[in-house]
Amino acid sequence: MPDSLTREAPRSGAGSGTYDAVIIGAGFSGMYQLHLLRDRLGLSVRVLEQGGGVGGTWYWNRYPGARCDSESHSYCFTFSPELYREWEWTERYPGQPEIMRYMNWVADRLDLKRDIAFDTRVTGARYDEASNRWQVATEAGETLTATWLITAVGCLSTANVPKIPGLEDFKGRWYHTGQWPHEGVDFTGQRVGQVGTGSTGIQAVPVIAAAAKHLTVFQRTANYSVPARNGPLDAEFKDWVRQNYEAIRTTTQSTPNGHPFVIADRSTWDVTEEERRALYEAAWEKGGLQFRATFRDLLQDKAANDTAAEFLKAKIRSIVKDPATAAKLADIDHPYAAKRPPIDTDYFEAFNRDNVALVDVRANPIERITPDGIQLRDGTEHKLDIIVFATGFDAMTGPLLRLNITGRDGLALKEAWAAGPRTYLGLQAVGFPNLFTITGPGSPSVLCNMPVCIEQHAEWIADCIAALREKGVARMEPEPAAVDRWVEHVNEAANATLLPQAGHSWYLGANVPGKPRVFMPYAGGMARYREICNEVAAKGYEGFVLNK
């Protein structure tokens, strides 16, 4: 991808100034929120973006094999039929460069870039009670003030580089997948070590293996994966997408996870074992996240889930030729889809290559990084030229807490959330008036196809601001009791599923040492969540304190 596509911004800085709204972040969320507030409501808006272009998480995640796991015809804006029909995706799942082209195209079509300050890092945001305004500080020393502050910082944008002793002495090069160099990395002739086998690691392994001299994969937790079955889209499918815009949008808005497929209305136990196997085989052949939708009870009933888990483990053993490697890859300790289920292109097949080795660092943990590679607890040293950390993110709360937000009475968001995030609807927190968090903790966010939940949040926020302005309301924040009830409901929704059973998942914050263990996303389903939000608005923003 030519770099010019991502660096078209004016370089004039944010410019101190007074706005109706400041938005932090120019990914899907920030772009759409800017469009709604500026073009529909006529507000003065400034977007502050740390990256050199639009794209959010996709601006940074340029690692080998980076591709979205949502199908392309659902991983896009759907608010405008014209925009939706005009863009033509080329593959079943969009790769990172194509997503960047799409986002730049949307930003240009909606003329968004003129109101976005790129290369602008926010260093703090403080609510000033006397003026009822937010003061947002940038690294360049500018201060912007606004009535409304909206974070559009994404859920997976704070890279988690594990604190392994010795990294600073490593003589080779090392990278985190979420902060990948724009110029790419040449693996030719290199001995590469990759730490991490989440969705990212599983995408990267086959691509790095094909380019490197040797790849050692350090696996702490074995993971399920279903083939993505990616490929080019034919003209017939592209026509079908254009003709079925309304139906696709209706489906994505009415399913619990925002994807363009419907969860089968049958229990695992409604069919015979033979029929079940045939259904799993068909889902495996079809590929993708839809595997999860084979039965309606896979995420609620552990015994039902076991049938899917056993099917997938057997697939791993049948693909991977070396029995010891296959056993390590299939030694999975959590229910299927209790952690975010990856999909892949030739992940397990990559372990049949002569230049790929798997190391189990659950049994024999990484002890330190030496100048020459990675040393395990038993003293074994793996000599490496490059280390790739596919080690994930300080998810959901990380990107918000690093903004250094201070609300009423000098309350820091870090203190308010010291024991874990507490929000009403994932949209607002007590003590932080007029601050909205798009896809914040307590909303479906990462359990949903992101553009679907982003559109819902951005529209709800825009409608809310319009309604408050009409009523002359100057200040909005949730009632503490409403937050208590919502937090309880978020916990109930999670506990009604198998999701909390993956004790080491980033949904729980368990991947970051010292982070409070709280199940962060709302697991009650996007469709239900949308209804709740609409009802709250219809009742005059029930649960919020509104002051003139």
Nearer to ligand NA7 among residue 29 and residue 197 (C-beta): 197
DSSP 116-135: EE-S--EEEEEEETTTTEEE
Nearer to ligand NA7 among residue 21 and residue 222 (C-beta): 222
Nearer to ligand NA7 among residue 393 and residue 432 (C-beta): 393
Alpha-carbon distances, residue 371 vs 165, 167, 365, 380 (angstroms): 11, 8, 18, 14
209 near ligand NA7, rule: CB under 6 A: no
The amino acid occupying position 108 is D
Tokens for 17, please give them. 């100034």
62 near ligand NA7, rule: CB under 6 A: no
Rounded Cα distance between 502 and 302, Å, is: 12
Between residue 509 and residue 528, which ones bind ligand NA7 under the rule CB under 6 A? Answer: 511
35 near ligand NA7, rule: CB under 6 A: no
Residue 29 and residue 438 in contact, taking contact as beta carbons nearer than 8 Å:
yes
Alpha-carbon distances, residue 150 vs 20, 25, 33, 137 (angstroms): 11, 9, 9, 14
506 near ligand NA7, rule: CB under 6 A: yes
Cβ 252 to ligand NA7, closest distance in Å?
17
Select the residue interacting with ligand NA7 from 138, 197, 305, 445 (CB under 6 A).
197
Nearer to ligand NA7 among residue 406 and residue 511 (C-beta): 511
SS3 sequence, 290-348?
HHHHHCCCCCCCHHHHHHHHHHHHHHHHHHCCCHHHHHHHHCCCCCCCCCCCCEECCHH
List strand residue ranges (DSSP E) for 5-95, in order: 17-24, 45-48
508 near ligand NA7, rule: CB under 6 A: no
Nearer to ligand NA7 among residue 54 and residue 66 (C-beta): 66
Q: How many residues bind ligand NA7 (CB under 6 A)?
A: 23
Rounded Cα distance between 533 and 548, Å, is: 22
- 381 three-class SS: strand
Select the residue interacting with ligand NA7 from 504, 517, 535, 542 (CB under 6 A).
504
In 3-state terms the chain splits into helix, strand, coil percentages (rounded to 5) of 40, 20, 45
328 near ligand NA7, rule: CB under 6 A: no
337 near ligand NA7, rule: CB under 6 A: no
Tokens for 288, please give them. 């993708």
Select the residue interacting with ligand NA7 from 72, 158, 391, 437 (CB under 6 A).
391
Select the residue interacting with ligand NA7 from 43, 263, 366, 396 (CB under 6 A).
366
374 near ligand NA7, rule: CB under 6 A: no
Select the residue interacting with ligand NA7 from 95, 154, 201, 407 (CB under 6 A).
201
Tokens for 314, please give them. 């057997």
Q: Which residues contact 237 (CB under 8 A, 6 or more apart)?
A: none
Quick one: CA dihedral 361, 365, 368, 373, positive or negative? Answer: negative
Angle in degrees, CA 378, 380, 385, rounded to 5: 145
Select the residue interacting with ligand NA7 from 214, 340, 382, 422 (CB under 6 A).
340
Between residue 407 and residue 466, which ones bind ligand NA7 under the rule CB under 6 A? Answer: 446
Cβ 69 to ligand NA7, closest distance in Å?
7
Select the residue interacting with ligand NA7 from 390, 403, 447, 448 (CB under 6 A).
390
CA atoms within 13 A on the CB side of 426: 34
Element (H, E) at 249: helix 245-254
The stretch near ligand NA7 (CB under 6 A) out of 112-120, 375-383, 390-398, 412-420 is 390-398
Nearer to ligand NA7 among residue 438 and residue 487 (C-beta): 438
Quick one: CA dihedral 10, 13, 14, 17, positive or negative? Answer: negative
Which residue's beta carbon is nearest to the bound ligand NA7?
A: 198
Select the residue interacting with ligand NA7 from 13, 52, 124, 162 (CB under 6 A).
162
Select the residue interacting with ligand NA7 from 199, 225, 307, 445 (CB under 6 A).
199
200 near ligand NA7, rule: CB under 6 A: yes
196 near ligand NA7, rule: CB under 6 A: yes
Q: How many CB atoms lie within 10 A of CB 256?
A: 18
Cβ 505 to ligand NA7, closest distance in Å?
7
State the helix-helix crossing angle for 235-243 and 245-254, rounded to 10 degrees: 70
The stretch near ligand NA7 (CB under 6 A) out of 194-202, 402-410, 478-486, 534-542 is 194-202
Residue 52 and residue 9 in contact, taking contact as beta carbons nearer than 8 Å:
yes
Cβ 444 to ligand NA7, closest distance in Å?
13
Site string for ligand NA7, 213-232 (x = CB under 6 A): -----x-xx-----------
Nearer to ligand NA7 among residue 104 and residue 219 (C-beta): 219
120 near ligand NA7, rule: CB under 6 A: no
Nearer to ligand NA7 among residue 53 and residue 196 (C-beta): 196
Cβ 67 to ligand NA7, closest distance in Å?
10
Rounded Cα distance between 155 and 395, Å, is: 5
193 near ligand NA7, rule: CB under 6 A: no
Angle in degrees, CA 430, 432, 435, rounded to 5: 120
- What is the binding site for ligand NA7 (CB under 6 A)? 156, 162, 195-201, 218, 220-221, 340, 361, 366, 390-393, 446, 504, 506, 511
